[in-house]
């Protein structure tokens, strides 16, 4: 009768082999049942059936007439004030400013073999930093007003073009 409550329940041996209760057996001692397991079990294996047993708690009724006048619990601080106890202050519980170091990450390095397989638009752009020409700083384009300044600026541009051509064609 008791085994019939647990038909289909999961059972397990100490060695970890899982099984299931199939049916209560009428022949044999009381509590006999038929079960299937994943693997062959030994006679020395202990089989566990995890079950829950329903317990009804005792009913307790404590009527309170008003909640306003009655305070059921006091805080730790209130109890310490009543008993005039001073709490030792832990160094850990004091608030302090959190300072974090600035994290510096290494630059991303893509291997050449992998980068050669990428589409051109996704490849890393290698641009050399251009040094500023001091002659351009002396004559900004916006401040050119007279014809003489325009001629000087045009001459400087031509000279720089010649210089750049010489640099690119030198080996």
Question: By residue range, what is the domain housing residue 164?
Answer: 134-169
User: Domain for residue 76, yes or no?
Assistant: no
- Residue at 14 is within a domain: yes
Going by pLDDT thresholds of 50, 70 and 90, the confidence category of residue 22 is very high
Residue entry with tokens 């008993």: 83
Instruction: Locate the DSSP E strands across the chain.
Output: 10-13, 18-24, 33-37, 47-49
Instruction: Say if 36 falls within a structural domain.
Output: yes
* pTM (2 d.p.): 0.32
The pLDDT score that the predictor gives to residue 158 is 92
Supply the Cα-derived Rg of the chain in whole angstroms: 44
Residue 27 lies in a domain: yes
Query: Does residue 152 sit within a domain?
Result: yes
Q: Is residue 15 part of a domain?
A: yes
Query: What average pLDDT does the segment 98-124 reach?
Result: 86
Per the CB < 8 A criterion, the answer to whether 33 and 21 are in contact is yes
Average pLDDT, the chain: 82
Between CA 117 and CA 123 the distance in angstroms is 9
Q: Is the predicted pLDDT of residue 136 greater than 60, yes or no?
A: no
Residue 156 has pLDDT above 90, yes or no: no
Residue 37 has pLDDT above 90, yes or no: yes
pLDDT higher than 90, residue 26: no
Count of structural domains within the chain: 2
Q: What is the pLDDT of residue 18?
A: 95
Place of tokens 């720089």: 160
Q: Please report whether residue 67 resides in a domain.
A: no
Predicted local distance difference test score (pLDDT) of residue 35: 94
Quick: pLDDT tens for 40-58: 998 889 999 887 778 898 9
Instruction: Identify the three-state secondary structure at position 155.
Output: helix
Task: Give residue-wise pLDDT tens across range 65-84.
Answer: 666 766 778 888 888 888 88
Task: Give the rounded percent of residues in the chain with a pLDDT score beyond 70.
Answer: 81
pLDDT at 20: 95
Is pLDDT at 137 greater than 70 in this prediction? no
The per-residue pLDDT for 12 is 94
Last residue of a domain, one of 11, 32, 49: 49
DSSP class per residue in 137-150:
HHS-GGG--SHHHH
Give the Cα separation of 88 and 125 in Å (integer).
62
Phi, psi of 67 (to 5 degrees): -85, -15
Distance CA(94)–CA(23), nearest Å, equals 65
Contact 157, 135 (CB under 8 A): no
Establish if 138 belongs to a structural domain. yes
Rounded Cα distance between 20 and 32, Å, is 14
């Amino acid at each position: 009768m008791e085994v019939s409550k647990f038909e289909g329940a999961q059972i397990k041996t100490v060695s970890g082999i899982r099984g299931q209760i199939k049916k209560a057996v009428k022949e044999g001692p009381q509590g006999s049942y038929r079960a299937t397991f994943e693997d062959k079990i030994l006679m020395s294996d202990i089989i566990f059936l995890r079950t829950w047993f329903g317990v009804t708690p005792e009913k307790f009724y404590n009527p309170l007439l008003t909640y306003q006048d009655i305070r059921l619990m006091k805080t730790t601080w209130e109890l310490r004030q009543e008993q005039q106890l001073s709490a030792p202050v832990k160094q850990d519980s004091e608030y302090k400013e959190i300072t974090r170091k600035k994290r510096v990450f290494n630059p991303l390095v893509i291997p050449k073999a992998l980068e050669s397989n990428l589409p051109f638009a996704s490849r890393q752009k290698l641009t050399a930093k251009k040094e500023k020409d001091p002659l351009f700083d002396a004559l900004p384009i916006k401040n050119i007003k007279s014809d003489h300044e325009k001629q000087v600026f045009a001459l400087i541009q031509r000279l720089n073009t010649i210089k750049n051509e010489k640099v690119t064609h030198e080996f």
